[in-house]
Amino acid sequence: MLDHVSLGVADLARSRAFYDAVLAPLGYRRLFDLDDASGYGAAREKGQALPFWIGREPAVAPASGHLCFAAPSRAAVDQFHRAALAAGGRDNGKPGLRPQYHASYYAAFIVDPDGHRIEAVRHQAE
């Protein structure tokens, strides 16, 4: 359904450092830079947009909504959370099971430096 998602950020250098750190444990990396934007993904495929972008916006509106990244393991969810806190994110839910969603839903929640709510999740039991 979706081709890609983009978030506006106030300080592109700060956000590049933040997302470089928090997406690495999930197997994603920055694969494309423009002067005012960067694209992230697992691999660059010909003819396909990178699935996640950040872009400089002079006046970032107050963040609303929620963005969730798939994690390859529960350990990667834990690493995502630690990396996000070390890179300037705020805790919005420590790593752990969320049985209210389903029995194997393991996730961590962060607020990025611009106020965007992000999550990493592993759905499979381990």
Higher pLDDT residue, 82 or 1? 82
CA dist 36 and 22 (Å) reads: 20
With left for phi above 0 and alpha for psi between -120 and 50, is residue 20 left, alpha or beta?
Answer: alpha
Domain 5-122 superfamily per CATH: 2,3-Dihydroxybiphenyl 1,2-Dioxygenase, domain 1 (3.10.180.10)
Q: What is the pLDDT of residue 43?
A: 77
* Cβ–Cβ < 8 Å for 7, 69: no
Nearest CA-CA partner of 14 in 120, 116, 93, 121: 116
Q: What is the pLDDT of residue 60?
A: 65
- The rounded radius of gyration (Å) of the Cα atoms in the chain is 14
Q: What is the pTM of this model?
A: 0.91
Q: Is the pLDDT reported for residue 7 higher than 70?
A: yes
pLDDT digits (tens, 9 = 90+) for 34-67: 999 999 998 766 666 789 999 998 776 677 779 9
Q: What is the pLDDT of residue 59?
A: 76
In the chain, domain spans:
5-122
